[in-house]
Each structure stands twice: as structure tokens, then as C-alpha cells.
Amino acid sequence: MVVAIWVWALGIDFPVIWGLLAFLLNFIPNLGSIISAVPPMLLGYIQFGIGRALLVGAGYGVVNLLFGNIVEPKFMGRKLGLSTLVVFLSLVFWGWVWGPVGILLSVPMTMVVKIALESRPSTHWISILLDSEASLTQEARNNT
């Protein structure tokens, strides 16, 4: 949606298509956002020149930077009880271990590890380290 509004504001034709393409390709980690930026950048270059094409690319970069590194990890962590840092580090770790498939499955695999750590009293403290602050304060209230 944000990408479609950005492309529309710059006057590039077919903003809804470019927004939908960005949404669909965003499920492909790292490369999807770059691939989705190429067609509207080319159209911006054809329609208005290099300046507008670079603005389109800058908009895609800002949107992907904000959503991919700040918004998505924060909301994923809040809903799943993982801290934002743990979500980000799990993306990096599982991506390094298994590549693109690991990035797609990083949060579910980290949740499996967290649940496994919670099940044993000797490793419960490690699961607390993975937890978000909201869950920690709630757990502290339950313990008192």
C-alpha cells in the first residue's frame, strides 16, 4: 500500500500493479523487494527520466528498510512473545544456516526452540532471555 501511494505520488503509471507486485514479491526475502522495484523504476525512467527513477528506487529502499528491519520484527516479536532483537538475530542466524528458506522459517524455528527451552526447568532461563518485555513483566506478575 505504501509503495503504491509512493509510486502514485511520483506520477508513475499503474501504481496499484506496482504495489501488488511489491506485496507479493516481499515474501521472497532480500531479492523480492529488489525485483519488485525494477519495473516501476524502468517505467519512471521512460516516463520522466533518471531523476524520477532514482526517487522510485529510494522510496522502495526506505519502505523496505523501515518495514523489513523495524516494523515487521517488532510486530512479529510482540505477537509471538519474542523480543525484536531475537527476531532480527533469528533472521540473520537461520538465513546464514539455511539461506532463503531459513529466512522464511526463522521465526517459526525460533519459536520451536523457545518452546523446547521452556519445557525443562534447567533451560527455562534461556527461554526468558528470548522473551519480549511485555511477556516478562506479565510472568513476573504471575510469579509474585
Residues 3 and 45 in one domain: yes
What phi and psi, each to the nearest 5 degrees, are found at residue 12? -75, 140
Residues 70 and 113 in one domain: no
Residue 60 CA neighbour count, 13 Å, CB half: 28
Residues 85 and 134 in one domain: yes
Residues 3 and 73 in one domain: yes
Residues 70 and 19 in one domain: yes
The domain in which residue 94 lies consists of: 81-144
Which pLDDT score is estimated for 20?
A: 94
Residues 85 and 74 in one domain: no
Which pLDDT score is estimated for 74?
A: 72
140 class by beta-carbon count within 10 Å (0-12 exposed, 13-18 middle, 19+ buried) = exposed
Task: Take residue 13 and report the three cell numbers written for it.
Answer: 503509471
Which pLDDT score is estimated for 76?
A: 64
Residues 36 and 48 in one domain: yes
3-state secondary structure of 30: coil
Question: How does pLDDT run across 102-113, given as a tens digit for each residue?
Answer: 887 888 888 888
Query: Mean pLDDT in the chain?
Result: 83
Higher pLDDT, 101 or 12: 12
The pTM of the whole model exceeds 0.75: no
Residues 1 and 69 in one domain: yes
Provide the pLDDT confidence category of residue 4 given band limits of 50, 70 and 90.
Answer: very high
